[in-house]
């Protein structure tokens, strides 16, 4: 599986290099503004970096989905499924490589914003007061205490839900390939299947999270959310691999 993961990572390495270069340019703009005390430059850099972070995370997931779609569509990529590896191993390698990319990207962007925030706190003392006011406001209005544990759980919940989106897309593509092997418009059908499945799973998660007798703290709610989306990820992965093994002619 490690060889397959390396293969998947190599296929998508160039786009990650571009993301890294753009991020470094954004950081250069930020620290230039910080050193020269140009508030507009700092604000612009932070705004652009924030938008780029969301865009980059979306692109990483989208690229993984497109790669899987092409692997089932193009003959050259299709050869991957003719190697002496089970569909469970192949799909598992794709999911793990995507997960590694998303997690590493999330960690890197979190570190970048952490460093930028620390630099701003060191540069401008007034920001410390603003931070304290925001923290007090959140605690008072939402009765949620902002701490490191809660932030880590929020990040984990976002990452696992994002990985579940990828495996759900894999399943949607596999379903359309199974029942519409020689038909046109499979991409549109795959998208519609994805929307339907996403709606069903989201409704299921919401129903469980809103059980009247279920009383959880903020941390407990996030942990339950992580567990539910981990289950969804596992189920969609297993069904996708099973369908490739039993239903799709490779």
For residue 64, the enclosing domain spans 2-246
* pLDDT at 55 > cutoff 90: yes
Report yes or no: 105 and 56 within 8 Å, Cβ to Cβ: yes
Q: Which pLDDT score, from 0 to 100, does residue 201 have?
A: 92
* Cβ-based neighbour number of residue 165 at 10 Å: 24
Mean pLDDT of the chain: 81
* pLDDT at 123 > cutoff 90: no
Q: Interior CA angle at 97 toward 91 and 103, to 5°?
A: 130
pLDDT (tens digit, 9 = 90+) per residue, 77-113?
Answer: 455 555 667 778 888 888 888 888 988 888 899 899 8
* Cβ-based neighbour number of residue 225 at 10 Å: 21
Q: Which pLDDT score, from 0 to 100, does residue 142 have?
A: 47
Return the top range by mean pLDDT from 63-77, 89-103, 119-133.
Answer: 89-103
Confidence of residue 25 (pLDDT cuts 50, 70, 90): very high
SS3 130: helix
Confidence of residue 20 (pLDDT cuts 50, 70, 90): very high
Confidence of residue 156 (pLDDT cuts 50, 70, 90): confident
Q: Which of 135, 141, 161, 171 is nearest to 222 (CA)?
A: 161
Report yes or no: 97 and 8 within 8 Å, Cβ to Cβ: yes
Q: How many domains does the chain contain in total?
A: 1
């Amino acid at each position: 599986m490690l060889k397959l993961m390396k293969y998947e990572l190599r296929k998508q390495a160039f786009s990650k290099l571009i993301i890294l270069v753009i991020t470094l340019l954004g950081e250069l703009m930020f620290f230039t503004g910080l050193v020269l005390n140009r508030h507009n430059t700092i604000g612009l850099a932070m705004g652009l970096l924030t938008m780029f972070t969301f865009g980059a995370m979306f692109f990483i997931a989208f690229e993984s989905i497109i790669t899987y779609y092409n692997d089932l569509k193009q003959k050259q990529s299709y050869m991957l499924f003719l190697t002496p590896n089970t569909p469970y191993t192949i799909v598992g390698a794709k999911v793990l490589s995507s997960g590694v990319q998303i997690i590493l990207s999330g960690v890197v962007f979190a570190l970048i914003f952490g460093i930028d925030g620390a630099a701003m706190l060191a540069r401008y003392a007034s920001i410390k007061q603003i931070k304290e006011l925001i923290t007090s406001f959140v605690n008072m209005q939402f009765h949620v205490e902002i701490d490191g544990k809660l932030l880590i759980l929020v990040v984990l919940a976002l990452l696992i839900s994002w990985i579940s989106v990828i495996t759900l897309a894999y399943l949607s593509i596999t379903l359309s390939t199974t029942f519409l092997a020689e038909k046109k418009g499979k991409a549109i059908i795959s998208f519609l299947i994805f929307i339907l499945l996403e709606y069903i799973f989201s409704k299921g998660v919401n129903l469980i999270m809103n059980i009247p007798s279920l009383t959880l703290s903020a941390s407990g709610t996030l942990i339950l959310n992580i567990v539910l989306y981990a289950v969804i990820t596992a189920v969609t992965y297993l069904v996708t691999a099973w369908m490739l093994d039993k239903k799709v002619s490779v």
